[in-house]
Structure 1
Amino acid sequence: MDNLPKAEIAKVKKVKNQKNEDEILSKENVVAVGIGRKIVDGKLTDRPALITFVKCKKDECDLAEQDIVPATVDGIETDVVEIGEPVIENAENKLVEEDADTMQRTLPGNELTSRIRPLKGGWSIGHPDITAGTAGAVVFNNEENLPGKYYILSNNHVIANSNAAKEGDPILQPGTVDGGKRGDDQVAVLSKFIPIHLTPDVPLEEQNNIVDAAIAEGSLQELDREIYWNGYVKGWVKKEDVEVGTRVKKTGRTTGYTTGTIISVETTVDVNFGRGRTARFRDQIFTTNMSEGGDSGSLVTDMENRAVGLLFAGSSEITILNQIENVRDLLKIEFV
């Protein structure tokens, strides 16, 4: 199916203004609002729509009148899509009770959890105080008059512990849940992260998060620009050129190499960060489900290996990406 024409997207974008968006997000069960395609009888159509994403679908008779999503908003069709609850996708810390002598590896597996040098994108990484996420890619600074430095790109919640870390903290490869330990397994130091506004400190309505992103500086001899199974990044895609219907791919710590399709752009979503904290992110990309816990930090590219987004969250039905243009601009990094 072809991508939606930009002119059609522009019409929906005009309707997805702050007033309409806030009104829809205030409805019971709603977790996100974005721009995508109308789904009829389980199939994507060519009709652009204002998409309302809900934790679970309910019959209108079970909803209060103010919580019903109208069939149209200012002349634009709407759609309601069930996705479950969006959560950050760091690895779960699962303890194994079996005797180590009786344990054996179950094959096949896609997990990229072992120690690897030089480090490639796609492998387990993390701050010592979290379980594990994914090293997205190796990048360098694009600030003028500064010496060239090399960084691992990942999420704030993966290598900066959701704002709790400080610059200079060690970054381990693999992450702690995969056996990484301070000292020999340190591969970089935290260099910079974009703070995330979270409840209860900042009310959802006052938040304006657009990225969950951070970089850690490492040495050239221990870092490799290649993304495992995905190749070298060949530039990046501007926000205005990210389109619904585009096929994308990634390599991540838990699910390895996977592909998906962009289903929503310019999406505003409320993401569960655990411990009673929620963050509202604007200008996000939704894809079909292509990730699980531990894949946070993966760099998502199009089929031409151009960076499209930074994976940080998802649900049983969808995967959520930061627009790579926003990540690039805020962290002042470059891919090639």
Structure 2
Amino acid sequence: MTHTEDFEDLLDCKNVLGVEYDDETNTLTVFVSQKLPDSELADEDNVKKRVTDVNLEVEDAGFDEERDGFDALSHAEPVPEAQANRHDRHRPVVAGVSEINAKETAATAGPYPARVTDTKTANWSADVSEGDLVRLSNNHVYARINDAEFGEPIVQPSPRDGGGLPDDKTGELLGYVTVEDGAVVDVSARSADPEQDSAEYHELDDSWPTTVRREDYRSMKGKTVAKTGRTTGVTRSQVKATSASVRVKFGDAGTLTLRDQCIAGAMSKGGDSGSPVFLDSSGELVGLLFAGSSRQTIFNKIANVESELGVELLAEESGEGGDGGSGGDDGDRDDDDGGEDGSFTYRETLSETVSVAVGSPQLSLVSFSVAGSPTSGQQASATARVSGSAKGTAWLAVDGDRTTFELSETHVRGNRFVRNVRVTVTIPESVGDSFDVNVEGGYVLNE
């Protein structure tokens, strides 16, 4: 049992919604629905009288009334209006816009792409195979708090924002982790289509997520995180807790205790459930938002999301190490134990001759990947990650099809300008383990 769980008995106290014990500082943080003077609290409800020999901090959640849990944010009534353009129909679907089960109100499309790695870990449809790509959001967003049947339709935008069947269907419920007392995640997955789903995160830098954090969450305390969501858009706040046990109200399912949660300050409202959360300094994906109040925002650790659901979030590697540097695995390796050199099998996916222009700004190709499982003879979405030596207008030609794009101050990574460029490739009629794509590029120079 973790040290925080030693203090979970305090959740039975009047107004107490969450607790976290930090053994490095011997600090117990208690989150309450409203602060009351000692004179209005019975001894059994007065945290000050129930704990000793710790540094005690009490955080007011801002409800101004007695509550027994934080709100699961797509069940906070009434759901506010969506931020401009996030209630619109987006094709392809990007993370951070309005999306939910067709039988629900409104919430947010979450991280994509996620690759299914283990269908025995959680509840998965028999139609799902390991290796399939899915989009994630909360259980209470796609799976209706454990009540949905596999195959139920997901719509974008949400019904609250005018979405409906059949025109706005974006996928079907495929998997979820049961939400119950003691759970560490509120997550589910829908089917995804590389032609209809984008790996972009609405109104965030197009290189995000740079990495996925899989350890060392304690070091995030005091750091700023950012999220993109349906109701409040892009917002930022500082992390207050990284291993909290919290009580959350899940509508008709009642109030449940979830463990090992991260808590930040105010940066969400009803309808923001499912929002991806990033470390603001590096673009590292760190969490999945699901609950909160007017003063706090609660999100699952993304490492718990992966392990509990049996998926792997795919992200580009920034090469800069990020803040904390613990999320370095980008999930795209083909290295398998027991291969060549005694430990790895090295599969060649890149072989090119680089032309270097002397005295001119230089553009290089960092990586090139095709989304999903390519179908022979069809077009597929692909991502070319490029690195330039200067800002300005650059170009790429993929098998002769040219596109231009800008490299600006928002794309700075160290002393380079790095950007993901979305392109389209045509899959050959006969595809083996790989196929060749001709990629050319450079800068557009003024005459």
TM-score (norm 2): 0.61
Cα distance in 1 for partners of 2:36, 2:2 equals: 28
Secondary structure (helix, strand or coil) at the match of 1:325 reads helix
Alignment of 1:109-188 (within 5 A): 109-110=83-84, 112-143=86-117, 148-188=131-171
Alignment partner, residue 415 of structure 2? none
| Compared CA separation, residues 177 and 92, structure 1 to 2 (3 A) | farther
Secondary structure (helix, strand or coil) at the match of 1:334 reads strand
Which of 1 and 2 has greater Rg? 2
Alignment of 1:1-336 (within 5 A): 15-18=3-6, 20-22=7-9, 24-35=10-21, 49-70=27-48, 73=51, 75-83=53-61, 84=63, 85=67, 86-90=70-74, 109-110=83-84, 112-143=86-117, 148-197=131-180, 207-230=181-204, 231=206, 232-242=208-218, 243-275=220-252, 277-303=254-280, 304-336=282-314
Secondary structure (helix, strand or coil) at the match of 1:158 reads helix
Alignment partner, residue 101 of structure 1? none
Which residue identity lines up with residue 246 of structure 2 in the other structure? V
- Following superposition, the deviation at residue 310 of structure 1 comes to 0.5
* Cα contact 1:172–1:187 (8 A) shared by 2: yes
| Compared CA separation, residues 92 and 65, structure 1 to 2 (3 A) | closer
- Following superposition, the deviation at residue 148 of structure 1 comes to 3.5
- Following superposition, the deviation at residue 74 of structure 1 comes to 5.4
- Following superposition, the deviation at residue 317 of structure 1 comes to 0.8
Which residue identity lines up with residue 130 of structure 1 in the other structure? E
- Following superposition, the deviation at residue 62 of structure 1 comes to 1.3
Cα distance in 2 for partners of 1:110, 1:287 equals: 24
Cα distance in 1 for partners of 2:236, 2:146 equals: 30
Larger displacement relative to structure 2 (69-78 or 175-184): 69-78
* Cα contact 1:111–1:254 (8 A) shared by 2: no
User: How many aligned positions are there?
Assistant: 295
Which residue identity lines up with residue 169 of structure 2 in the other structure? Q
Alignment partner, residue 325 of structure 2? none
Secondary structure (helix, strand or coil) at the match of 1:235 reads coil
Compare the two structures and name the one with the higher helix fraction: 1
Which residue identity lines up with residue 63 of structure 1 in the other structure? L
Cα distance in 2 for partners of 1:233, 1:185 equals: 27
Which residue identity lines up with residue 242 of structure 2 in the other structure? V
| Compared CA separation, residues 267 and 94, structure 1 to 2 (3 A) | closer
> Which portions of structure 1, spanning 4 or more consecutive aligned residues, are displaced by more than 6 angstroms?
91-95
| Compared CA separation, residues 229 and 282, structure 1 to 2 (3 A) | same
- Following superposition, the deviation at residue 31 of structure 1 comes to 1.1
Larger displacement relative to structure 2 (239-248 or 278-287): 239-248
Ranked by relative contact order (alpha carbons within 8 Å, sequence separation 6 or more), the top structure is 1
Return 5+ residue gaps in structure 1 as ranges: 1-12, 38-45, 96-105, 198-206
TM-score (norm 1): 0.81
Secondary structure (helix, strand or coil) at the match of 2:113 reads strand
| Compared CA separation, residues 314 and 111, structure 1 to 2 (3 A) | farther
| Compared CA separation, residues 154 and 17, structure 1 to 2 (3 A) | closer
* Cα contact 2:100–2:155 (8 A) shared by 1: yes
Deviations 1:112-148, CA, capped at 9 Å, x for gaps: 1110000000010010110011011212325279564
Secondary structure (helix, strand or coil) at the match of 1:245 reads coil
Deviations 1:154-196, CA, capped at 9 Å, x for gaps: 0011111111111111110111111111111111111101111
RMSD of the TM alignment (CA)? Answer: 2.7
| Compared CA separation, residues 92 and 31, structure 1 to 2 (3 A) | closer
Cα distance in 1 for partners of 2:185, 2:214 equals: 15
